[in-house]
Structure 1
Amino acid sequence: MTVRFVGAGPGDPELITVKGQRLLAAADTIIYAGSLVNPALLCLAKQDAVIMNSASMTLDEVIDAIVRATGEGREVVRLHTGDPSIYGAIKEQMDALDKRGIPYEVVPGVSSFLAAAAALRCEYTLPEVSQTVIVTRLEGRTPVPEREKLAALAAHRATMCIFLSVHMLDSVVDELTAGGYPADTPIAVVQKASWPDEKIYRGTLATIARTVEEAGVDRTAMIVVGRCLDGDYALSKLYSPDFGHMFREAK
């Protein structure tokens, strides 16, 4: 039996892929990533499916459950939030399955940093503003390489999407400012992007920490920082009448 690692999307049940939805509906055993996955997605499961919440499970317990289910000939879906390739801890699970000779595939999903852009109605890459998107996190209990600390990445002044760090927003702001972002750089915090109770908080590096603290936001939120949140940008060459390409002559 082939195990499927499926990206559940950012929260909205309609943002799971068609393939992910089909596999979820056909699964005999579903092991899902706790409170990070919208429970509404579990309504897609068939009536006799075994559904397990991995929030209280260790890696060994998750793998043991997969091994048992596949040994019984059951179709297994390991349901991860967003896209499983970003902070999904799937590498260690795939390595464990490789050691046991259990085949698997990965079905990508819509990441929360993309749902945050939709919520903010922004484009992360804008001509003459930013052509780079950095996806990262602040160092916490999980360390990051020295060269990837926020202050080092901030030197680029690119668009930055920061996961798993809103509970340390003061430190995020300090690192970004120390690294080179001016204090008036726009920043937004999107809590539970695409969920019914989604909330958006906007400000600058100088003001956002107080705004978010007063709102009591300390988890399940994406931090977006960069000039892409401003209103100024150059128009794309792609649709400019004086810009020719293989599909259209310049006018």
Structure 2
Amino acid sequence: METKVYFVGAGPGDPGLITKKGKRLLNEADVIIYAGSLVNPSLVEGLKAELYNSAKMSLEEIIEVITEAVFQGKTVVRLHSGDPAFYGAIHEQIVELKARGIAYKVIPGVTSASAGAASLGLEFTVPEVSQTVIFTRLGGKTPGPSSEDLIYFARKDVTLVIFLSINRAREIEQALLKKLAPDTPIALVYKASWPEEQIIRGKLKDLSHLVKEAGFKKTALIYVGEALEAAIKHMNKRSKLYRDSRLSENFG
């Protein structure tokens, strides 16, 4: 069956961070259902497609629009913010499309976590500092990890990226302090890659204070871990990938 439905990652906000394939599909689409204010409006301006803002739609309404368009032979792009694989809510849509025998493809995008890391100049996985990255959130309307789970995830050699939980900064701070040192580096990235992006660096013990002072209520990520200060504290940590073989011979 010919694919007529594409789940496309719009990227974190900067319109230049959508993939070439994603941009091409937007230009070719007959119908675009986009994720409201989370998607940069410039991505859908001037296109031939019929536009729907999913912020005002239920799942049933979204599937109805997709189904009708496909049966009319039209190509549909479901445009999600960031990368659809990260908290994109594509699972329930895919279930409905499969039940109707409608073929689909997912086009990955740049997640906000990567955009925030780029703005921070951060490598998540610094040799001998952190080789594990955990992407998580606290449960809310959508059930998910608890503060006890955060305690389980927290380790000195782990980089944590916490989505969709900035309004619970105090709870996060208290949980992580049960396992991590008060001076563990943290960073807040608000609206990564957007013109209004803001970055705040600090220590874990000051997390909730920094959030309150900044006035962040949503669309901000929390980064936690020693990798955040690796460029300062761990300048001698090097990957073996680019190690000079002559050094290995001399000191191996």
**TM-score, normalization: structure 2?**
0.91
Alignment correspondent of 1:161 = 161
8 A contact 1:139–1:149 mirrored in 2? no
Alignment correspondent of 1:3 = 5
Cα separation, partners in 2 of 1:164 and 1:241, compared to 1, 3 Å: same
Q: Distance in 1 between matches of 2:81 and 2:25?
A: 15
- The aligned length equals 244
Q: Partner amino acid for 2:98? A: D
Give the stretch that moved more between structures: 231-240 or 124-133.
Answer: 231-240
Cα separation, partners in 2 of 1:211 and 1:145, compared to 1, 3 Å: closer
Tell me the C-alpha RMSD between the 2 structures: 1.9
8 A contact 2:4–2:74 mirrored in 1? no
- Look up the SS of the partner of 2:240 in the other structure: coil
Q: Distance in 2 between matches of 1:131 and 1:96?
A: 37
Alignment correspondent of 2:189 = 190
Alignment correspondent of 1:172 = 172
Query: Could you list the per-position Cα deviations for residues 88-117 of structure 1 after superposition, in whole angstroms to 9, with x for gaps in the alignment?
Result: 010110110000001100000000000010
In the TM superposition, residue 23 of structure 1 has moved relative to its aligned partner by 0.1
Q: Residues 51-130 of structure 1: matches in 2 within 5 Å? A: 51-130=51-130
Unpaired segments ≥5 residues, structure 2: none
Q: Residues 38-53 of structure 1: matches in 2 within 5 Å? A: 38-43=40-45, 45-46=47-48, 49-53=49-53
Alignment correspondent of 1:224 = 223
Q: Distance in 2 between matches of 1:26 and 1:181?
A: 50
Alignment correspondent of 1:138 = 138
Q: Residues 229-244 of structure 1: matches in 2 within 5 Å? A: 229-230=228-229, 231-233=232-234, 234-242=237-245
State, as a whole percentage, how many aligned pairs show the same letter.
52
Q: Distance in 2 between matches of 1:147 and 1:214?
A: 23
| 4+ residue segments displaced more than 3 Å | 145-148
Q: Distance in 2 between matches of 1:243 and 1:96?
A: 58
Q: Partner amino acid for 1:2? A: K
In the TM superposition, residue 157 of structure 1 has moved relative to its aligned partner by 4.5
Query: Could you list the per-position Cα deviations for residues 39-58 of structure 1 after superposition, in whole angstroms to 9, with x for gaps in the alignment?
Result: 11112622xx2100001211
8 A contact 1:8–1:109 mirrored in 2? yes
Q: Partner amino acid for 1:204? A: K
Cα separation, partners in 2 of 1:121 and 1:237, compared to 1, 3 Å: same
- Look up the SS of the partner of 2:194 in the other structure: coil
In the TM superposition, residue 204 of structure 1 has moved relative to its aligned partner by 0.6
